[in-house]
């Protein structure tokens, strides 16, 4: 039977509530470890048009875009397909109780279920002058790459009760299949072992479906949330030249709907986004602006001057390129 995400049970027996808390702590530790490992120590760049540069300087906000409207059509699903394979491989020879958990959780990884989560992404690159990105994101070479200082990407402290639109996570995108698979395998194996240990210790409780199934569902959702993070920071190796670093906002249900806006792309595409505070006019936060190979460098200089950012350098691209 196809499983679906449901609201978590408000009550679990203390032993099972403790087990859920233990797994949540493990997930948070994994995320913190990745954020520390991926800590940004060099400027990151965002390729955009002249209008995009103007908008960021004027509003001092960064637009986080709904993941379904990013450039890679396989967003999320590239990583999720790897996760599906791990679920299948992990159940071979496993204890029947662990198999049940793996099957239950694997069944949650449908497009319909994943769509109940909201993910918004802002993309940056450690490559300051890349032809592919000028073509794809920099107005076909007529735009600009805005260089932001490393402190703009420092991990934000977790504050209790902080709404999701006020908090973002930073992660470097993985492109190598072995890296993508390893991090998800670790989470799946840990969750399955944790479920089995809990089931063995609390066999009487778990045998009661009214208790065991809500616990299974909630632990499964916690694991899926971890896998979604992995999937959102994984891409096909064909995009490796982008050297992407992502900031992400994650929520579920209606958590982000109140702050979500919509803009038009072209003449027919409505793109949901969230405006996140981005203080680019604070001293030191803007490192440089790189003018695309076909850009008017004076446009960027004028926009910076109007905002009092006269000390920010505008440097030309060194790539010979003439757009059609």
What is the rounded average pLDDT of the residues 36-47?
94
284, part of any domain: yes
214 domain residue, yes or no? yes
Cα 27 to its chain centre, rounded Å, is 15
**How would you class 255 by CB atoms within 10 Å of its CB: exposed for 0-12, middle for 13-18, buried for 19 or more?**
middle
Total of domains in the chain: 1
Tell me the per-residue pLDDT of 176-214, one tens digit each, with 9 for 90 and over.
999 999 999 999 999 999 999 999 999 999 999 999 999
Q: Band the pLDDT of 109: cuts 50, 70, 90.
A: confident
In a domain, 162, yes or no: yes
* Residue where the block lists tokens 């490393």: 150
Q: Taking 90 as the threshold, does the pLDDT of residue 116 lie above it?
A: no
pLDDT at position 6? 45
pLDDT tens, residue by residue, 148-160: 999 999 876 656 5
Q: What domain range includes position 214? A: 14-316
Q: What is the rounded average pLDDT of the residues 16-44?
A: 92
Is residue 322 a part of any domain in this protein? no
pTM of the model: 0.84
Tell me what the pLDDT averaged over the chain comes to. 88
In a domain, 4, yes or no: no
The pLDDT value recorded for residue 8 is: 47
By CB neighbour count within 10 A (0-12 exposed, 13-18 middle, 19+ buried), where does 233 fall? buried
Question: What backbone torsions phi and psi does residue 149 show, to the nearest 5 degrees?
Answer: -70, 155
Q: Quick one: pLDDT at residue 159?
A: 60
Q: Is position 1 within any domain?
A: no
How far is residue 93's CA from residue 173's CA, in Å, rounded to a whole number?
33
Task: Judge whether 165 lies within some domain.
Answer: yes
Measured between alpha carbons, how far is 147 from 42 in angstroms, rounded to an integer? 10
User: Would you say residue 9 lies in a domain?
Assistant: no
């Amino acid at each position: 039977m196809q499983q679906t995400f449901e609201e978590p049970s408000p009550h679990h027996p203390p032993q099972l509530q403790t087990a859920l808390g233990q797994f949540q702590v493990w997930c948070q530790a994994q995320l913190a470890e990745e954020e520390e490992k991926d800590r940004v120590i060099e400027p990151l760049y965002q390729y955009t048009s002249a209008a995009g540069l103007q908008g960021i300087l004027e509003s001092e906000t960064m637009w986080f875009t709904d993941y379904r409207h990013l450039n890679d059509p396989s967003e999320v699903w590239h990583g999720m397909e790897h996760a599906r394979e791990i679920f299948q491989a992990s159940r071979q020879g496993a204890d029947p109780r662990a198999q049940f958990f793996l099957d239950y959780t694997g069944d949650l990884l449908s497009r319909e279920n994943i769509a109940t989560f909201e993910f918004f992404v802002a993309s940056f690159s450690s490559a300051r002058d890349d032809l592919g990105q000028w073509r794809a994101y920099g107005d076909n070479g007529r735009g600009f790459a805005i260089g932001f200082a490393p402190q703009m990407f420092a991990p934000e402290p977790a504050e209790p009760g902080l709404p999701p639109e006020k908090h973002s996570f930073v992660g470097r995108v993985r492109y190598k299949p072995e890296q993508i698979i390893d991090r998800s395998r670790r989470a799946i194996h840990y969750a399955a072992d944790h479920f089995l240990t809990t089931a063995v210790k609390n066999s009487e409780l778990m045998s009661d479906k009214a208790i065991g199934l809500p616990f299974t569902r909630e632990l499964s959702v916690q694991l899926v949330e971890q896998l979604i993070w992995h999937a959102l920071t994984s891409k096909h190796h064909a995009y490796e030249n982008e050297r992407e670093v992502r900031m992400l906002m994650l929520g579920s249900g209606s958590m982000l709907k109140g702050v979500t806006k919509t803009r038009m792309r072209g003449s027919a595409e409505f793109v949901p986004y969230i405006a996140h505070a981005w203080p680019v006019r604070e001293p030191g936060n803007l490192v440089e602006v790189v003018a695309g190979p076909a850009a008017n460098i004076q446009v960027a200089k004028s926009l910076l001057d109007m905002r009092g950012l006269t000390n920010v350098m505008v440097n030309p691209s060194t790539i010979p390129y003439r757009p059609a």
